[in-house]
């Protein structure tokens, strides 16, 4: 999962933040769209 060089900390950090935000949004949208009432069932 580490495609960037270890010395490029700034770019890596920025990409990580963007990735996390995008992933969080996707997961939230998915949960609300596919299982709005069964959120606690799978957890």
pLDDT per residue as tens, the chain (43 positions)? 566 555 556 667 888 899 999 999 988 888 877 766 666 656 5
Q: From start to end of the chain, where are the E strands?
A: none
Q: What is the pLDDT of residue 14?
A: 84
- 20 phi, psi to nearest 5 deg: -65, -40
Locate 6 and state its tokens. Answer: 């270890």
**Helix (H/G/I), strand (E/B), else coil: 15:** helix
| Alpha-carbon distance values, 21 to 13, 25, 26, 36 (Å) | 12, 6, 9, 21
Position 23 scores a pLDDT of: 92
**CA separation for the pair 16, 25 (Å, rounded):** 14
Q: What is the pTM of this model?
A: 0.44
């Amino acid at each position: 999962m580490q495609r960037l060089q270890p010395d490029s900390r700034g770019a890596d950090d920025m990409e990580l933040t963007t990735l996390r935000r995008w992933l969080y949004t996707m997961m939230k949208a998915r949960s609300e769209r596919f299982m709005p009432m069964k959120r606690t069932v799978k957890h």
